[in-house]
Copies of this chain bind each other. A is one copy, B any other.
Amino acid sequence: MQPSHTITVDLGDRRYPILIGSGLVGGYDLSPFIEGPDCLIVTNETVGPLYLERLKKSLGGHACEALCLPDGECHKTLAAAESIFDALAAMRAGRDATVVALGGGVVGDIAGFAAACYMRGIPFVQAPTTLLAQVDASIGGKTGVNHREGKNLIGAFHQPRAVLIDTGVLDTLPDREFRAGLAEVVKHAAIADAEFFAWLEANVGALLDRDAAALGEAIGHCCEIKSAVVAADEKEQGLRALLNFGHTFGHAIENALGYGEWLHGEAVAAGMVMATELSGIDPQEGERLRRLLTAAGLPIAPPDHCRGGLRAAMDLDKKNRRGRLRFVLLRAIGDAYLASDYSESRLDSVIGPAGAEPAGDQP
């Protein structure tokens, strides 16, 4: 089976393909990306029962072992990475062994980090199974685990050999998680591609119906945008930070609500609306963003009751960064820039008064 879209992440001698299509897990031969004889599939207890056996068919004659991690962000720990080291060591895996991550962003981040560190780096393939991982987390080589003091505090840059995106596996993705993934799709359009944004406005219904052609198109666009950014700025010295649009506010929302209350994509959706308000662009552009997110079933403002916590989280963030917050702002839909000279009074009004009426419009 051939992919409907193939995108190359151009990192010189570490370039790799993103293969997109329906039915690729089990239907596409990954053998060319598996170097040595040993292969460890890392998955989780939710995804494993659904797709592990199918994925093995993509790995041809390679001797595969599988490690099933518990599901959830709270398990994205150094201990989970250690369980992968243990599994690889027990297999007596050498430098030519390959780790294949089958799951969402959490599985991909942990497995990628373990592959980055085992014998100072072994080959690694991503098979993302959530929309969020397919359009964002699985591409670009950011791997890591959480520390109790911060998300992704421990990690590595380690590029995969290939990313296999099967849009068919999204059929089993819970609706709320699917919509959270759409937030990152909207993000890619908002920062870099006005035409794609317009396409999303026209096709959000087809996406919500999980139409295979629409999904392939949308995921392909996101991967093109992200690949170009990663190829230009692999280690996030500058440009790559644009991918954090909505994330400064989003992280503060997650923090204020308590992690796990809102999904990451939901917090990013509300965060993008806040960042757009801070940008001070044409109100009609802000209205387009709110309408699209609302159509995708996503929140466009944080819950009122967390405004106080939100302000506290941002103040702490600011203190930790020695007084300077950086935001990704918009000049217009499709045109983002990085700014640390935002207006403090505008920021105040975007966050809104603790316990009072929210500053953002309600759906």
Contacts and interface: CB of A to CB of B under 8 A. Distances in A.
A149 B320 CA distance: 39
A47 B150 CA distance: 31
Q: Which of A118, A153, A157, A322 has the most CB of B within 10 A?
A: A153
A219 to B, nearest CB: 25
Given A117-B156, A156-B120, A156-B156, A150 B89 contact: yes
Interface in A75-124: 78, 82, 85-86, 89-90, 92, 94, 116-121
A155 interface: yes
A143 to B, nearest CB: 8
Nearest to A155: B120
A320 B149 CA distance: 39
Contact of A321 (B86, B94, B120): B94
B321 A153 contact: no
A339 B142 CA distance: 37
B154 A85 contact: yes
Contacts of A147: 85-86, 89
Contact of A320 (B90, B94, B152, B153): B94
Q: Which of A86, A119, A120 has the most CB of B within 10 A?
A: A120
B94 A153 contact: no
B116 A156 contact: yes
A144 B157 contact: no
Given A78-B78, A78-B82, A82-B78, A149 B117 contact: no
A117 B120 contact: no
Nearest to A319: B92
A141 to B, nearest CB: 10
A26 B220 CA distance: 56
A85 B146 CA distance: 11
A119 B117 CA distance: 14
Interface string A147-191: 111101111110000000000000000000000000000000000
Contacts of A320: 92, 94
Contacts of A150: 89
A120 B144 contact: yes
A153 B90 contact: no
Interface centre among A147, A148, A235 (most CB of B within 10 A): A147
Contact of A118 (B94, B117, B148, B154): B154
Nearest to A36: B322
Contact of A121 (B90, B92, B156): B156
Contacts of A89: 147-150, 153
A16 B155 CA distance: 23
Given A117-B117, A120-B144, 11 more contacts: A37-B322, A86-B147, A89-B149, A89-B153, A92-B149, A94-B320, A116-B156, A120-B142, A120-B152, A121-B157, A121-B235
14 contacts: A37-B322, A85-B153, A85-B154, A86-B147, A89-B153, A92-B320, A116-B156, A117-B144, A117-B156, A120-B142, A120-B156, A120-B157, A120-B235, A121-B156
